[in-house]
Amino acid sequence: MKILLTGATGYIGKRILPVLVTQGHDVICCVRDKNRFYVPEDFQEKIQVIEVDFLDHSTVINIPLDIDAAFYLIHSMSGSATNYDEQESISATHFSERINQTQAQQILYLSGIVNDKSLSKHLTSRKNVESILSKSTVPLTTLRAGIIVGSGSASFEIIRDLVNKLPVMITPKWLNTKCQPIAINDVLEFLSKSLLNPLTYNQSFDIGGPDILTYKEMLLAFAKAKKLKRYIFTIPVMTPKLSSYWLYFVTSTSYKLASALVSSMKVEVVCSDNRINQLLSVQPISYKEALSRALLKVDEDKVASSWKDSLVSGRFSQSISSHLKVPKKGCYTDRRKKEIIDRDFTINQIWSIGGETGWYYGDWLWSLRGFIDKLAGGVGSRRGRTNKHNIYPGDALDFWRVLYADKKEGKLILYAEMKLPGEAWLEFKIIHNTLYQAATFKPDGFLGKLYWYSVLPFHGFIFNGMLNKLIK
């Protein structure tokens, strides 16, 4: 079958893609920018990549008419904090209009559990999208999930950050809100078994694991799994704004996402029924088992996708293509080069940079820069990296975004996502037996020039020290 996959660069999209290919489907991946989408070599014959921006109606014509089903996995919380609900409505409308013209027999939509009369803006938007999609002439299947537990998921990473960093937590009262977490593998099984299954057409289902827990119980269970002693005290006086800042400064989440999550976490997300379990013969695993599997993936460096690599984690625009060519005019550049001793060693050093490995020289200065950026409302350096040794275009790398990564060519280009009075790039490329390293800054007015000259004294030993470590 020919399956359309929207949201292919997102957390769920990256996970469901290999499942669909393994099942023998031909998959058409919708992305805004082909340059930030990596297709594994083993799957290239079964995958077609098309560029579609569902906020731009003129681009939906790129969707072929001969598809059999379509996954709608688009969420717009990465947009403005005030209008992402409008963006989601527009995207859903444009998607629905095009799908009506195709041969598709089914739309599958992953939403959030909405069994409360007083919904957050985030959950209200999800419900509105479902309403728009249900008006399509193509049968809709909606799966509603609460907290998704898996290596790299936003929920898992936030829980991990809180537990690892805070032995004692003074927390808001919403930590006593109940939810029904579900393992990522179970979400994928529900999605794949619902695909082109007439029993699920024109229906919505709540999906969740067997445990109903408070967020506090989830944190303590994680601490137990990690064999850590943690103490949690809840207070009633922490406002939503203060709660958002608490999540923002302690975890790797952005403030926009923290605000949306806080407003959602005040609402119970518990399945109203579990009839789909019997319908599809799926037995979801416990929260304890989901944690165990996620931690194992992290330990083995086998995290398949991470929410941090989504544009929601930074301040980047929707396309990296316009930034791929590093400018020269009106820019300041620190260029260095050095003859390499062992090409494979240097390549591995470059491809391991950032995250737990660090930046090889003056790490405390890099950390300080990340801390200052966090205080200024930037992304900071807490995002780390998804894998220890693999880098792909579009990945987040501390406070950088990967624009280009070709290991065979020996070339890596990073774009700065920290708050700056201008734009910055960091390049590494190997030509013959020489490593070229360049830090480029395009200032924005007088403040930009002042910034460049204020950090210039540090460049000499930071970039020179890093270059030496990349060689030997």
pLDDT tens digits, 236-261: 776 777 777 778 888 877 777 777 77
Contact 6, 54 (CB under 8 A): yes
pLDDT of residue 420: 92
- pLDDT > 90: percent of the chain: 55
Report the 10 Å Cβ neighbour count for 416.
Answer: 24
Q: Which ranges of 210-302 does DSSP label H, i.e. alpha helix?
A: 215-225, 240-250, 255-265, 275-280, 287-299
Domains and CATH numbers, the chain: 2-309 (3.40.50.720), 323-471 (3.30.530.20)
**Taking 70 as the threshold, does the pLDDT of residue 76 lie above it?**
no
Cα 410 from chain centre: 26
| Confidence band for 28, pLDDT divided at 50, 70 and 90 | very high
Longest dimension (CA), the chain: 67
Helix/strand/coil for 5? strand
Alpha-carbon dihedral 367, 368, 374, 377, rounded to 10 degrees: -140
- Summarised one tens digit per residue, pLDDT across range 414-453 is 999 899 999 999 999 999 999 999 999 999 999 999 999 9
- Summarised one tens digit per residue, pLDDT across range 269-285 is 899 888 999 999 999 99
User: What pTM, to 2 d.p., does this model score?
Assistant: 0.86
pLDDT of residue 120: 65
Over residues 162-179, the mean pLDDT reads 88
Contact 145, 184 (CB under 8 A): no
pLDDT of residue 36: 76
| Confidence band for 81, pLDDT divided at 50, 70 and 90 | very low
Contact 162, 169 (CB under 8 A): yes
pLDDT of residue 267: 77
| Confidence band for 68, pLDDT divided at 50, 70 and 90 | very high
Cβ contacts of 291 within 8 Å, gap of 6 or more = 149, 221, 222, 225
Pairing of strands 203-207, 411-416: unpaired
Residue 298 or residue 67, greater confidence: 67
Highest-confidence segment of 128-132, 219-223, 365-369, 373-377: 219-223
**Taking 80 as the threshold, does the pLDDT of residue 373 lie above it?**
yes
**Taking 70 as the threshold, does the pLDDT of residue 287 lie above it?**
yes
**Taking 90 as the threshold, does the pLDDT of residue 342 lie above it?**
yes
pLDDT of residue 190: 97
Contact 310, 78 (CB under 8 A): yes
Over residues 18-22, the mean pLDDT reads 94
Contact 455, 443 (CB under 8 A): no
